[in-house]
């Protein structure tokens, strides 16, 4: 990677404030920027580092007005946080090469259909009648079951297990050791005190532009489909149970657990270690604070909830103030 400040500005539709010929070769955090690096400044808490940073280029918002001299060249953009994401994506795309490859120790069943320039690493398995779209990369030690459909431009990292009959859209990233399509947790109590397994005959449908973190488990449905909507981002170590529906562009942080048949709306933000009860629905644009428990239906859109059981954030903060006083 090597870019001049003026090239970066062109990529990001920004403007240069300083030396347009400044050259950068690597990315760095603004706290530790060094010569030859590019950093970004978006959070006001880090403004002090703008004046001490040794990086050659810093991406900032157009509205930023320095209070002290800045040695670095500034590339001004509408949204610095989004701009650095776009630049990282641009750099990664330039490095990415597509070539057809099949590891000599992989196994692709004869009835499987692979698109153009599909990569299949060593010890990967692609089952009968599976379909894999163009430019998808299946890393080493991946299991793709019979009848699985995977779209184009996907990345399936090592150790992923995709059970038979699952459906994966385009531009999906699944990180290491995630499991897609395991049986849901369904058992019927018997009179003698034992539990009889309830067979799960459905599947999982993961729509386009989804990213799934490492060690995530998404269970297939009893009937029908467990659905992860377009643009959803799921962090590491999350559990999505059978028949759950996650709406478009919802994000979910680590160690969140969603019980069976819950329906989560679109554009929701779910923080770490949230627990969501089964058979409930959550309205669009809901934000749920860390370690909260959602035990009932959330009807009103746009709320921020906190606590267990969760309730509106303002009420939670007032209640917490009372709790603190009561403990003294």
Active site residues: 242
Task: Write the burial class of residue 193 (CB in 10 Å: 0-12 exposed, 13-18 middle, 19+ buried).
Answer: exposed
What DSSP string describes 255-287? T-EE-TT-EE-TT-EE-TT-EE-TT-EE-TT-E
What φ, ψ does residue 45 adopt, rounded to 5°?
Answer: -60, -20
What φ, ψ does residue 79 adopt, rounded to 5°?
Answer: -145, 105
DSSP state of 293: E
Q: How far apart are CA 2 and CA 323, in angstroms?
A: 55
Task: Write the burial class of residue 208 (CB in 10 Å: 0-12 exposed, 13-18 middle, 19+ buried).
Answer: middle
Is the bond preceding 309 in cis, omega lying within 30 degrees of 0? yes
Q: How far apart are CA 252 and CA 260, in angstroms?
A: 16
> Cα 113 vs. chain centroid, distance in angstroms?
27
List Cβ neighbours of 186 (8 Å cut-off, separation of 6 or more).
Answer: 197, 198, 200, 222, 242, 260
């Amino acid at each position: 990677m090597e870019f001049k400040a003026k090239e970066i500005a062109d990529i990001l539709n920004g403007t240069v404030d300083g030396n347009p010929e400044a050259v950068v070769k690597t990315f760095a955090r603004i706290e530790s920027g060094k010569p030859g690096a590019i950093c970004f400044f978006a959070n006001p808490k880090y403004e002090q580092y703008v004046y001490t940073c040794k990086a050659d280029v810093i991406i900032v918002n157009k509205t930023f007005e320095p209070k002290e001299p800045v040695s670095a060249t500034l590339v001004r953009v509408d949204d610095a946080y989004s701009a650095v994401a776009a630049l990282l994506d641009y750099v990664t795309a330039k490095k990415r090469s597509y070539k057809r490859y099949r590891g000599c120790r992989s196994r692709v069943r004869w009835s499987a259909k692979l698109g153009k320039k599909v990569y299949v690493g060593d010890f990967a398995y692609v089952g009968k009648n599976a379909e894999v779209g163009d430019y998808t990369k299946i890393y080493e030690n991946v299991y793709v079951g019979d009848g699985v459909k995977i779209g184009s431009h996907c990345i399936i990292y090592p150790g992923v297990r995709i059970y038979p009959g699952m459906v994966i859209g385009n531009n999906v990233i699944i990180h290491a050791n995630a499991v897609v399509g395991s049986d849901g947790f369904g058992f019927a109590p018997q009179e003698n005190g034992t539990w009889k397994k309830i067979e799960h005959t459905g599947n999982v449908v993961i729509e386009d532009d989804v990213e799934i973190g490492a060690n995530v488990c998404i269970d297939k449905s009893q009937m029908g489909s467990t659905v992860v909507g377009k643009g959803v981002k799921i962090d590491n170590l999350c559990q999505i149970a059978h028949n759950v529906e996650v709406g478009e562009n919802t994000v979910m942080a680590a160690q969140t657990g969603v019980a069976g048949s819950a329906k989560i709306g679109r554009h929701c933000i779910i923080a770490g270690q949230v627990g969501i009860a089964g058979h409930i629905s959550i309205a669009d644009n809901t934000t749920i604070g860390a370690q909260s428990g959602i035990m009932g239906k959330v009807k009103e859109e746009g709320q921020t909830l906190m606590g267990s059981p969760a309730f509106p954030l303002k009420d939670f903060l007032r209640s917490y103030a009372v709790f603190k006083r009561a403990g003294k």
